[in-house]
């Protein structure tokens, strides 16, 4: 726990001394940065849900709602993603969700670039948040890991999407409501059923193996 806290603290120090302090001293600097962001790719459509509601549903569903959220984000991004050179994103929302171990970093980049372009606050670089998310997911799922480490890993894994969502929710003019949509409640409940079913099946199969 101490080591993980130290890693997070070091990441924040690097953020505070680096990207957080970026400023553009002239209009030319700002325009150059905006052009660079356009070249990397921006998006004008995202999936919006209250960050607190998202966290509740991820925990309630045993983590499965997180992948529903990732799929919905990619589905929205594929509709509104644009680059200066006109090239499209490869793959599909489903393929990118299935490859989340890799594409989660790209997702974070698109969110951060769009927030920066719109002059909204950005999250830490996607390499940092993505590593925390992936490390938390692996820690929570690996057998033989101490319970305390699993719980911390699980919380990190649940929290990272909510961090991105909190920044996304600064983009719309209207406040994102706390009340969830019916399909979100259904997705969370179905995810919980899947987790319980898999757990019970494993309990039946593993002792017999």
Each residue's pLDDT tens digit, 68-110:
999 999 999 999 999 999 999 999 999 999 999 999 999 999 9
Listed residue (132, 71, 67, 130) closest to 104, CA to CA: 130
| Euclidean distance between the first and the last CA atom of the chain, given in angstroms as a whole number | 34
> Is the pLDDT assigned to residue 59 strictly greater than 80?
yes
Are 178 and 50 contacting, i.e. CB atoms less than 8 angstroms apart?
yes
Mean pLDDT to the nearest integer, 182-186: 97
Residue 209, SS3?
coil
Mean pLDDT to the nearest integer, 160-171: 97
Token representation of residue 106: 């790209």
> Is the pLDDT assigned to residue 13 strictly greater than 60?
no
Separation between Cα atoms, residue 167 and residue 48, nearest integer Å: 10
Q: What is the pTM of this model?
A: 0.85
Listed residue (66, 93, 63) closest to 77, CA to CA: 93
Listed residue (201, 149, 169) closest to 53, CA to CA: 169
Chain CA centroid to CA 130, Å: 8
């Amino acid at each position: 726990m101490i080591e993980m806290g130290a890693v997070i603290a070091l990441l924040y120090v690097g953020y505070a001394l680096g990207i957080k302090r970026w400023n553009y001293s002239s209009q030319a600097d700002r325009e150059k940065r905006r052009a660079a962001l356009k070249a990397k790719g921006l998006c004008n459509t995202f999936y919006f849900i209250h960050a607190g509601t998202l966290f509740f549903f991820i925990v309630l569903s045993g983590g499965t709602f997180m992948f529903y959220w990732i799929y919905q984000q990619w589905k929205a991004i594929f509709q509104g993603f644009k680059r200066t050179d006109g090239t499209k994103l490869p793959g599909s929302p489903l393929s990118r969700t299935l490859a989340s171990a890799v594409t989660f970093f790209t997702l974070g980049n698109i969110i951060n670039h769009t927030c920066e372009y719109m002059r909204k606050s950005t999250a830490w670089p996607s390499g940092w948040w993505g590593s925390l998310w992936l490390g938390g997911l692996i820690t929570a799922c690996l057998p033989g890991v101490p319970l305390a480490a699993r719980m911390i890993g699980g919380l990190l894994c649940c929290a990272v999407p909510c961090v991105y969502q909190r920044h996304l929710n600064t983009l719309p003019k209207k406040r994102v409501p706390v009340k969830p949509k019916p399909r979100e409640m259904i997705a969370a409940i179905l995810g919980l059923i899947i987790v319980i079913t898999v757990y019970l099946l494993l309990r039946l199969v593993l002792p017999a193996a």
